[in-house]
Amino acid sequence: MKNKANVVIIGGGVVGCSIAYNLAKKGVKDVVLLEKSYLSSGATGRCGAGVRQQWGTKQNCLLASESMHIFEHFEDILQIKRDIELKQKGYLLLAYSDKELEQFKKNIVVQHSLNIPSILLTPKEAKEIVSDLNIEKLVGAAYCAKDGHANPFQVTLGYAEAAQRLGVEINKFTEVKDIITKNNTALGVQTNKGFIECKKVVVAAGGWTQNIVKMAGLDLPIYSERHEILVTESVKNVLDPMLMSFSYNIYCQQEPNGSFIMGYGPENEPPSYNMESSWEFLETMSKKATWLLPPLKNIRVIRQWAGLYNISPDRQPIVSQINQLEGLYVACGFSGHGFMLAPAVGILMADIVTGDQLTYNVILDLERFNRGEIIEEPSVV
Amino acid sequence: MDENKVIICRCEDVTLKEIRDAIREGFTTVEEIKRVTRSGMGPCQGKTCGLLIAKEISQMTGKPMEEIELQSIRPPYGGITFEEVTKGTVMENDK
């Protein structure tokens, strides 16, 4: 392991690896990435693997569509051989009230301004796309055929491989113990394998980001929350798009290998680092899934697990430098959407660290909370 | 022995060659190999392949077997249908 670096990135999930690759691509030398376990062992490897462009705010639509462009050309852009299992069979967003449908209409106007090919559907048209869908109580739906799925492990490893090829040193199973500072300036990172002196530290540690930043004596307005998910046995392909409802509170899709993967946003879940599975989740999920897609009743659940959402005050990412400490940067608070936004976030963070003009016209800095510029995204699970 | 013809993970059809390639690439834990190859992601959840993979890791890296962690065991322990969950568990023989 190097004992001196230009930039140390803490966190080997998809965001950390994307940042590492994009920094190296910009020509930054001596970038070192630290991961306490294996790559994608945290939130990335536990996520629902969906990639969608149907958002309600312009900047989310922009980041998502730019990220989708990178997913679409992943092997060419990164110059690697790794199949990320991109499946673009759409996201079907379900509306169960007129109010929800009105919101979808407004969102589509925003999406169209960025050429995202979303459309509004009647319940009958939704059923033409998903023949097993229960359309009882359904008022309408929004659909974007270019949304879909990608494999989070392969995407993370793809970024890591490309970053290493450009000179980034990746240290797995290396735990950060302290961030050393002096006169409000970062001086280096202490790990269980030694000290690395560096000018800049980027924290992209998912659910543990606030703990890492605390090592430098700072508090971030983010917290972590358990979200559960399950996967079924693999069966023949019967469901093309990701099904998602904000009001019925569910997401469910069939992966390219034939397994269904699904989850919902927990209610009254306290902030914690709990990653245990619960029987309550299995029971509620079973009821939700079989109501939405009745033929699923005969399919077997083979595995359930949990991961951490890292949640910010407006449930939008924080991709920012930290003004109180020279040389400290964070990419956190993804609130469940880190995987699908990671390609664009890596580019943004590389701009911020190198002091270049931002590639995308977005506001994701930490100071927005002090300025009162809260981003109101209507479309989150 | 043709390592292309030896199946290590029966649920996901992963061969010995694929496991060895992953170890050579630097994935030296069962959890990493699971994510790279899908071994252990099928219905048996690695009950068969987990140990076989650990043995390969041990042989190729020289790390003693007892120091190699197996994959996390996740609920439910055996496959259960959504209907069985929603109606209460019904054993196969009771039907």
What would the 3-class secondary structure string for chain A be?
Answer: CCCEEEEEEECCCHHHHHHHHHHHHCCCCCEEEECCCCCCCCCHHHCCCEECCCCCCHHHHHHHHHHHHHHHCHHHHHCCCCCCCCECCCEEEEECCHHHHHHHHHHHHHHHCCCCCEEEECHHHHHHHCCCCCCCCCCEEEEECCCEECCHHHHHHHHHHHHHHCCCEEECCCCEEEEEEECCEEEEEEECCEEEEEEEEEECCHHHHHHHHHCCCCCCCCEEEEEEEEEEEECCCCCCCEEEECCCCEEEEECCCCEEEEECCCCCCCECCCCCCCHHHHHHHHHHHHHHCHHHHHCEEEEEEEEEEEECCCCCCEEEECCCCECEEEEECECCCHHHHHHHHHHHHHHHHHCCCCCCCCCCCCCHHHHCCCCCCCCCC
A280 shares a domain with A193: no
Does the CB of A282 have a partner CB in chain B at under 8 Å? yes
A208-259 residue pLDDT tens: 999 999 999 999 999 999 999 999 999 999 999 999 999 999 999 999 999 9
| Residue B89 in this model has a pLDDT that exceeds 80 | no
User: What is the model's pLDDT at position B87?
Assistant: 87
Q: Average pLDDT for residues A124-130, to the nearest whole number?
A: 98
Q: For residue A66, is it within any domain?
A: no
Q: How confident is the model at residue A380 (pLDDT cuts 50, 70, 90)?
A: confident
User: What is the model's pLDDT at position B91?
Assistant: 56
Architecture of domain B7-87: Orthogonal Bundle (1.10)
A182 shares a domain with A44: yes
| Residue B90 in this model has a pLDDT that exceeds 70 | no
User: What is the model's pLDDT at position A199?
Assistant: 95
A322-350 residue pLDDT tens: 999 999 999 999 999 999 999 999 999 99
Q: For residue A381, is it within any domain?
A: no
The Cα of A175 is separated from the nearest Cα of chain B by a number of Å equal to 17
User: What is the model's pLDDT at position A120?
Assistant: 98
The Cα of A249 is separated from the nearest Cα of chain B by a number of Å equal to 18
A186 shares a domain with A132: no
Chain A residues within 8 A of B36 when measuring between CB atoms: 153, 157
Chain A residues within 8 A of B85 when measuring between CB atoms: 282-283, 286, 301
Q: For residue A78, is it within any domain?
A: no
Residue B80 DSSP SS3: strand
> For residue A334, what are the domain limits?
4-48+153-222+313-371
Q: How confident is the model at residue A375 (pLDDT cuts 50, 70, 90)?
A: confident
| Residue B95 in this model has a pLDDT that exceeds 70 | no
Q: For residue A44, is it within any domain?
A: yes
The proportion of chain A whose per-residue pLDDT surpasses 90, expressed as a percent, equals: 97
With an 8 Å Cβ cutoff, are A303 and B32 in contact? no
A296 shares a domain with A238: yes
The Cα of B77 is separated from the nearest Cα of chain A by a number of Å equal to 8
The Cα of B82 is separated from the nearest Cα of chain A by a number of Å equal to 5
Kind of pairing between the strands at A31-34 and A169-171: parallel
Q: For residue A125, is it within any domain?
A: yes
The mean predicted confidence, pLDDT, of chain A is 97
Domain extents for chain B?
A: 7-87
Does the CB of A233 have a partner CB in chain B at under 8 Å? yes
A186 shares a domain with A99: no
Residue B38 DSSP SS3: coil
Residue A249 to residues A22, A101, A285, Cα–Cα distance (Å): 35, 15, 10
User: What is the model's pLDDT at position A180?
Assistant: 98
A287 shares a domain with A321: no
Which candidate from A45, A298, A304 shows the least CB-CB separation from B83?
Answer: A298
A266-297 residue pLDDT tens: 999 999 999 999 999 999 999 999 999 999 99
Q: How confident is the model at residue A156 (pLDDT cuts 50, 70, 90)?
A: very high
Q: For residue A68, is it within any domain?
A: no
With an 8 Å Cβ cutoff, are B82 and A304 in contact? no
A273 shares a domain with A136: yes
CA pair distance A184, A322, nearest whole angstrom: 11
Which candidate from A38, A233, A282 shows the least CB-CB separation from B32?
Answer: A38
A235 shares a domain with A203: no
What would the 3-class secondary structure string for A191-210 be?
Answer: ECCEEEEEEEEEECCHHHHH
A138 shares a domain with A106: yes
Q: Average pLDDT for residues A63-69, to the nearest whole number?
A: 98
Does the CB of B31 have a partner CB in chain A at under 8 Å? yes
A131 shares a domain with A234: yes
The mean predicted confidence, pLDDT, of chain B is 92
B43-58 residue pLDDT tens: 999 999 999 999 999 9
Q: How confident is the model at residue A200 (pLDDT cuts 50, 70, 90)?
A: very high
Q: Which two tokens stand for residue A45?
A: 């490897």
Does the CB of B77 have a partner CB in chain A at under 8 Å? no
Q: For residue A136, is it within any domain?
A: yes
Residue after which a domain boundary falls, among A275, A308, A341: A308
User: What is the model's pLDDT at position A88?
Assistant: 97
Q: How confident is the model at residue B92 (pLDDT cuts 50, 70, 90)?
A: low
Residue after which a domain boundary falls, among A273, A308, A343: A308
| Residue A139 in this model has a pLDDT that exceeds 70 | yes
A40 shares a domain with A136: no
Q: How confident is the model at residue B88 (pLDDT cuts 50, 70, 90)?
A: low
Q: For residue A58, is it within any domain?
A: no
For an interface test with A, which of B82, B84, B87, B90 has the most A Cβ atoms less than 10 Å from its Cβ?
B82
What's the pTM value of the predicted model, to 2 decimals? 0.96
Residue after which a domain boundary falls, among A285, A308, A331: A308
A229 shares a domain with A167: no
Q: How confident is the model at residue B77 (pLDDT cuts 50, 70, 90)?
A: confident
